[in-house]
Structure 1
Amino acid sequence: MGITAGAADAVHELLLSSHSDEGERRRPLRATAVTPPRLPPVGPSSAASTVGIRASHRRRTAWDGERNDSDAGCVWGRKRIREGIATGVRRSQSPPTVIATFSPGIYKSNGYLKISCNGGLNQMRSEICDMVAVARLLNLTMVVPELDKRSFWADQSNFGDIFDVRHFITSLRDEVRIVKRLPKRFSPTDSSTTLDMSPVSWSDEKYYLHQISPLFSKYKVIHFNKTDARLANNGISTELQLVRCRVNFHALKFTPQIEALGNKLVQKLRDKGSFVALHLRYEMDMLAFSGCNHGLNPEEAEELKRMRYAYPWWRDKEIDSKTKRSEGLCPLTPEETSLVLKALGFEKDTLIYIAAGEIYGGEKRLKPLRAAFPKLVRKEMLLDSEPLRQFQNHSSQMAALDFIVSTASDVFLPTFDGNMAKLVEGHRRFLGFRKSVLPDRRKLVELIDLYNNKTISWENFTFSVQEVHRGRVVQPSCRRKLENKPKEEDYFYANPHECLANSSLCSGSKDTVTVR
């Protein structure tokens, strides 16, 4: 189904994310790649034992990507939308070059920090960034992180199978000393020198300075056996936030093999024209963990329930799927996604790349989405089996390929706001606020049900979807802070505004919008 000229005009108005006087277009903000200098020692042993790192002599490397003002601030450009993506859309820019000037690397180490990450690739990525910042704060020598091998995915990949170890170590050498392994004199079973513990979730610098740092007077090695969300989103000094960004945007570089194959995927898509990266979070683990079973038959719902009970670390067992969906806490189904894409103005021949693992229900579940958008592709359709063979059975390495494609796409649209969606959003902000649409699932499922029940017409549904998403195109903004609700506030890695061109708008006491 195509869209009428009136609908196209509505989408055009809806997706303009910058406003200016008639006949004048506002030039978008320029993104800035930040390369902070080696920071002064901070910790109980230094004179700067006050919480935080002194803001001093920040060094930045600016980059000016080419701009086409005709599409600044809107998803598909100011031209009338047709064929899903306007013909005037610019290609995604190349990543900025971050120029680092290294000091000789003189360190004062208070001990060794060993970390074991938990979760999928993108959750572990944020954990690594957090722990490098903690090591920097406490003047610790960090051991190359251990990745999760025990979770649902059972991926046996080591850090060096996904990330360039040498680049990781050398790119941070003026921030933190990083070693590949602990010295042999430290035994992991020697409780007199090594402490295993989990830091408190969403902690600020006070916690690490006053609770963790003193432990190094007794232990030479501290092993953090869980590292998910152990550093707060807000209330962290700007200098330490910049360290998190430096790790995320510069130090965590994929291996040459992953980079090469990811770039090959992007080029194959580019050869076909502009494309949308759709993070269709409809894998088995997501549905089992969330308890979302809308559209599934009883046998499928029971299978997912059994799986949820089989994993003890998935704490919520009995889940009201209907209530959760109505609250917007479930991923959109493929059927729902097809309706949303059409309502937003995408035409049938839009090229869509599915950035996801194996979809639950396989091709049968994808049938409605493929019927609406026949040019639906996955990595397995674009690459020969041989290049992908080395990545099979390694979900984190496959996720790395999807990450590369998602950050490079002309438009990014996630169906659930999980770790990958948030980190890709943050990367696309850093790379010049590339076009990303963030669906409002709570309002969408209400509209979808009204349409499916024939309560509203297609025209009313389309208009309402567009109205709901007015302003939900990613643009410069400050993170929203919720007092005592860190899980519900804006995630640092989705909008690291301290590291972006709009940082001056969010500086000082106004670095967040506080909601009580």
Structure 2
Amino acid sequence: MARASGRIIKNPLLSLTPSPRSLTQLFSSVSPLPSLCSSKKTSPSLSIFFLSFLFSFTFLGISIFIFFPNSNDSIRCTSIESPAISPISPHSLPSPYSKIILASLLSGLNSNNEIQPRIGGTSMVPLPVHLVSGNLSEQETEFWKQPDGNGYRPCLDSTMGYRKRSAKILIEKNRFLVVVAAGGLNQQRNQIIDAVVIARILEAALVVPILQVNMIWEDESEFSDIFDVEHFKKTLRADVRVVSSLPSSHMVAKQTIATQIPYGVPPSWIRAKFLKQLNQEGVLVLKGVDSKLSKNLPSDLQKLRCKVAFHALRFSKPVLKVGNQLARRMWIEGPYVALHLRLEKDVWVRTGCLTGLGPEFDKIVTGIQKSQPQYLTGRVNMSSSQRRLSGLCPLNALEMARLLKALGAPKTTRFYIAGGEPFGGTKALAPLAAKFPNLVRKEMLAHDGELSPFLNSSSALSAIDYVVSFNSDIFIPSHGGNMGRALRGHRAYMGHRKSIWPNKRTMLPLFDDSSIADEELSRITRSVHSKSMKPEPRKKERDRDVIAYPVPECMCRHGSAIF
């Protein structure tokens, strides 16, 4: 099998942060060029002297920025398109600093050398994708190829009517919305996003959401443990007033908690149901808002959803620091694929599926399913085999290995394994490791004690997985789920990085058919998953969230406005 090697280009955002404006101001303030151009009489020798001085000073300025980098905190902007394709080869530049300069130049260009608009410093910025080279087969080259963004860029500019209403909403001091978010990390993210939108609909101030203690994972994390509270408030200051706690004037001994909200309600339902109570009591407490708000909202509210998801909900500094460190350790070795494998015991129980590890493990899962049927999610009248063929089960390690091989992944590919501890331990991953031995987990990447502060927080560990997966060259989930959908949209929003969504309903019958030759299986598999090579519009389908499909509501082909 041919070995794919990655041409490593250091991320200029880690060390180089001067903006074009600061460079212009720096050079214009001291450059002799204006006086040279405005002088009526200038001797040739004097002109040559000034030009030589100018070029020398410019080179000195660039050298200063390279050898004395600023901190990450000074980042103000980054390009939208990742430099996946470039006509310039880094091998023509011998020094590591030359590669940094090259990456800096490439980060502002797309494959057509067009200048890209810039995203504000509120976004989590991914490391550049790698330029993969080597003696690759056609299938392997296709596997590493990045999508064509078709010119779609983040576009969150709001309407004049929205901005006019903001003036009143942002000074609201009499009505407050409190939201209790339950579930795992990404389920909580969804509820926080909708909490902001509901606060906007009701024109109420939003109290920083409360994260309910997770009884399954025994996670007692608070909002500030997982997310950057001040960043959250600051990013949303033009949309919703966010406060840390209820004022004493609104504290009551017993507060009514609204939990009976149907799925997919429009803004008009929210106003009709809660506005009167909010005006009378001054406080509204909502619980269980996940997926309750309609996926099809007015344009301004869809853009607000994207603003919360891709800008405001930045992870806390301790979580982000460790996540970025692990991502860099993966990235510096070359291109890598992030696999979100849902092989935990609770996933098998909730989905009503079998593990594929044999009778011993399947007996444990079916026993829990029978004794605790409340954990089973939907379609209780289907057998495990029917669920599998309907695409309702996670791909197990063997099925994922077959999919990756059919997609053209080289055997030497490095995989970051995101997700909890697989049920069955190393046995659960053995079929995948046999085909692709370079499997890495966060515990293998982390230095001694690096993960210790987060060992009692499943949400923090999931957030670290999210960051490493976000920075990968390719992301593939074994099952749908909230994290997979969130990363799909986030990666599209930040430069159309490749995400492959397994079409299980099509592929599993093919995997079960031993008469299909490997070449034919590979051809079909690559054809079925060709959608990963271009932006996929949301199409206003009932179950399609703008967070997973930001095109076209949150991304457009014209204009450069971000907020």
SS at the partner of 2:498? coil
Q: Give matches, 1:156-195, under 5 Å.
A: 156-187=220-251, 189-191=253-255, 194-195=256-257
Distance change in 2, residues 1:464/1:181 (3 Å): same
Aligned match of 2:492: 429
Q: Which residue of 476, 490, 497 maps to 2:551? A: 497
SS at the partner of 1:413? strand
Q: Which residue of 474, 477, 484 maps to 2:536? A: 477
The alpha carbon displacement at 1:476 in A equals: 2.1
Does 2:443 correspond to 1:353?
no
Q: Which residue of 417, 441, 445 maps to 2:504? A: 441
Unpaired segments of 5 or more residues in structure 2? 5-76, 87-109, 113-128
The alpha carbon displacement at 1:503 in A equals: 6.6
- Give the counterpart letter for 2:545 in structure 1: Y
SS at the partner of 1:497? coil
Distance change in 2, residues 1:206/1:457 (3 Å): same
SS at the partner of 1:472? helix
Distance change in 2, residues 1:72/1:306 (3 Å): farther
Task: For residues 53-94 of structure 1, give each alpha carbon's deviation from its aligned partner in whole angstroms, at most 9, with x where no partner exists.
Answer: xxxxxxxx9955464556969x99898844946798689x9x
Distance change in 2, residues 1:422/1:256 (3 Å): same
Does 2:303 correspond to 1:242?
yes
Give the Cα–Cα distance (whole angstroms) in 1 for the partners of residues 260 and 468 of structure 2: 34
Give the Cα–Cα distance (whole angstroms) in 2 for the partners of residues 455 and 68 of structure 1: 38
Aligned match of 2:94: none
Percent same amino acid among aligned pairs? 33
Aligned match of 1:289: 350
SS at the partner of 1:438? coil
Distance change in 2, residues 1:401/1:351 (3 Å): same
Q: Give matches, 1:9-24, under 5 Å.
A: none
> Do 1:438 and 1:474's aligned partners in 2 also have CA atoms closer than 8 Å?
no
Aligned match of 2:394: 331
The alpha carbon displacement at 1:348 in A equals: 1.2
Q: Which residue of 291, 308, 319 maps to 1:229? A: 291
Unpaired segments of 5 or more residues in structure 1? 9-60, 506-516
Does 2:209 correspond to 1:145?
yes
> Higher helix share goes to which structure?
2
> Do 2:341 and 2:418's aligned partners in 1 also have CA atoms closer than 8 Å?
yes
> Do 1:105 and 1:173's aligned partners in 2 also have CA atoms closer than 8 Å?
no
Give the Cα–Cα distance (whole angstroms) in 1 for the partners of residues 302 and 539 of structure 2: 16
Give the Cα–Cα distance (whole angstroms) in 1 for the partners of residues 464 and 495 of structure 2: 21
Aligned match of 2:360: 299
TM-score if structure 1 supplies the norm length?
A: 0.76
SS at the partner of 2:547? helix
- Give the counterpart letter for 2:194 in structure 1: D
The alpha carbon displacement at 1:464 in A equals: 2.3
The alpha carbon displacement at 1:249 in A equals: 1.1
Aligned match of 1:270: 331
Distance change in 2, residues 1:458/1:247 (3 Å): same
Does 2:313 correspond to 1:252?
yes
The alpha carbon displacement at 1:393 in A equals: 2.6
SS at the partner of 2:416? strand
Q: Which residue of 310, 319, 323 maps to 2:372? A: 310
Give the Cα–Cα distance (whole angstroms) in 1 for the partners of residues 536 and 279 of structure 2: 42
Distance change in 2, residues 1:164/1:64 (3 Å): closer
Give the Cα–Cα distance (whole angstroms) in 1 for the partners of residues 254 and 475 of structure 2: 48
User: How many positions carry a matched residue from both structures?
Assistant: 434
Task: For residues 420-467 of structure 1, give each alpha carbon's deviation from its aligned partner in whole angstroms, at most 9, with x where no partner exists.
Answer: 1100000011001111111110111111101xxx32222222222223
Aligned match of 1:40: none
Task: Report the more deviating stretch, 384-393 or 395-404.
Answer: 384-393
Task: Report the more deviating stretch, 253-262 or 460-469.
Answer: 460-469
- Give the counterpart letter for 2:517 in structure 1: S
Distance change in 2, residues 1:78/1:352 (3 Å): closer
Aligned match of 1:466: 526
Give the Cα–Cα distance (whole angstroms) in 2 for the partners of residues 389 and 208 of structure 1: 42
In our comparison, the structure showing a higher alpha carbon Rg is: 2
Give the Cα–Cα distance (whole angstroms) in 1 for the partners of residues 281 and 191 of structure 2: 23
Q: Which residue of 270, 279, 282 maps to 1:217? A: 279
User: What RMSD, in angstroms, separates the aligned Cα atoms of the two structures?
Assistant: 3.5
The alpha carbon displacement at 1:172 in A equals: 1.4
Q: Which residue of 113, 129, 137 maps to 2:177? A: 113
- Give the counterpart letter for 2:339 in structure 1: L
> Do 2:357 and 2:428's aligned partners in 1 also have CA atoms closer than 8 Å?
no
Aligned match of 1:401: 464
Give the Cα–Cα distance (whole angstroms) in 1 for the partners of residues 463 and 343 of structure 2: 18
Aligned match of 1:48: none
The alpha carbon displacement at 1:481 in A equals: 3.5
The alpha carbon displacement at 1:357 in A equals: 1.1
Distance change in 2, residues 1:351/1:162 (3 Å): same
Give the Cα–Cα distance (whole angstroms) in 1 for the partners of residues 218 and 328 of structure 2: 30
- Give the counterpart letter for 2:515 in structure 1: T
- Give the counterpart letter for 1:167 in structure 2: H
The alpha carbon displacement at 1:312 in A equals: 3.5
Distance change in 2, residues 1:104/1:258 (3 Å): farther
Distance change in 2, residues 1:472/1:372 (3 Å): same
Give the Cα–Cα distance (whole angstroms) in 2 for the partners of residues 241 and 98 of structure 1: 9
